[in-house]
Amino acid sequence: MPDVVVIRNLRSGRGRLVRKWPELERSIREATQGSLEFWDTEGPGHATELARRACQIGVELVIAAGGDGTISQVANGLIGREVTLAVIPSGTGNDLCRTLGLGASIPDALKAIRHRRVGRMDVAHFRTDKQAGYFLNVAGMGFDATVADRINRGMRMLTGTSAYLVAVLAALGRFRAPDIRFTLDGQRLDMRVMLAALANAQCYGGGMKIAPFASVSDGLLDVVLVREIGKGAFLRAFPKVFNGTHLTHPAVTHSRATRIRLEPSEPAPFLVDGELVSCSWVDIEVQPSKLPIIVPENSNL
């Protein structure tokens, strides 16, 4: 039985992981210094199954090597089982790793694994009319979900922020702002929005600071809502999201909540850590300090 299992998605990062793998495997073995096995994902959801299997055989540490989607899937198999997660950023966006203080640095991730400092991060449980699960980073409804769908359907050759920017321009012309009823800790709000972002961490879309003040250890989700505005005005304001100054725009509201319900006027795509789910409603609840995770030595987790 291995002490450590690495769940790797060799398709992540447009082949970045495959190109780096021989050297990276040697570095992982040096960082873990124990019995180790490498398990490969074979399709959507498989990383969650592999993580559950690792828990069943008594593994102490599971390392997710891949992008934000792979990390989220692995976490969904670990949450509630008190098995520690570590991450090796190998995707196109690596947004959760930015909030954790690792950025896109594989050497920093390996250093954190060597030192084995364990923090505990919040997760958010979501439930829709079709499925349930957890997210670690950011969920959303509206334009961000439309853009993610555009990337998934036709922009796989681009990476990170560049893919997101091209998809923004491609999707905006046909986008129609949805009417959504929000219930935030019991307070109801009806709004037609360009986007609604529900953030446990700070970034998505390859480094866009949608919730610059979000923390994965405060027991809260940051709720960023952008009211419907003209598409020209939206494009002019859009660059502010890269440094987090968009929160001062008059169309933007920012609040925090522990329990959130979204009810769009008609079924709409819901974006969960980069994956899309079509739904008629969503219930979300923060679960504080739920996931043990390896963090850098200077982390405040």
Q: Domain spans of the chain?
A: 4-116, 128-288
Tens digit of pLDDT for each residue in 131-183?
A: 999 999 999 999 988 887 777 666 555 555 676 677 778 888 889 999 999 99
Beta-ladder partners of 127: 132, 283
Contacts for 15-18: CB closer than 8 Å, 24+ residues apart: 16/90, 16/91, 17/65, 17/66, 17/90
Tens digit of pLDDT for each residue in 206-244?
A: 888 999 999 999 999 999 999 999 999 998 998 899 999
Residue 163 pLDDT? 67
Tens digit of pLDDT for each residue in 251-291?
A: 999 999 999 999 999 999 999 998 899 899 999 999 999 99
Q: Which CATH number is 128-288 given?
A: 2.60.200.40
Residue 54 pLDDT? 98
Q: Report yes or no: 147 and 164 within 8 Å, Cβ to Cβ.
A: yes
What residues contact residue 143 under an 8 Å CB cut-off, 6+ apart?
Answer: 171, 172, 175, 177, 194, 195, 226
- Which bin fits 41, alpha (ψ -120 to 50), beta or left (φ > 0)? beta
Determine the Cα–Cα distance for residues 145 and 139; give it in Å rounded to an integer.
Answer: 9
Is residue 295 pLDDT above 90, yes or no?
A: yes
Residue 14 pLDDT? 62
The verdict on domain 4-116 having CATH code 3.40.50.10330 is yes
CA-based end-to-end distance of the chain: 30
Lowest mean pLDDT among 116-130, 156-170, 190-204, 267-281: 156-170
Residue 153 pLDDT? 67
Q: What are the backbone angles phi and psi of residue 207, rounded to the nearest 5°?
A: 110, 5
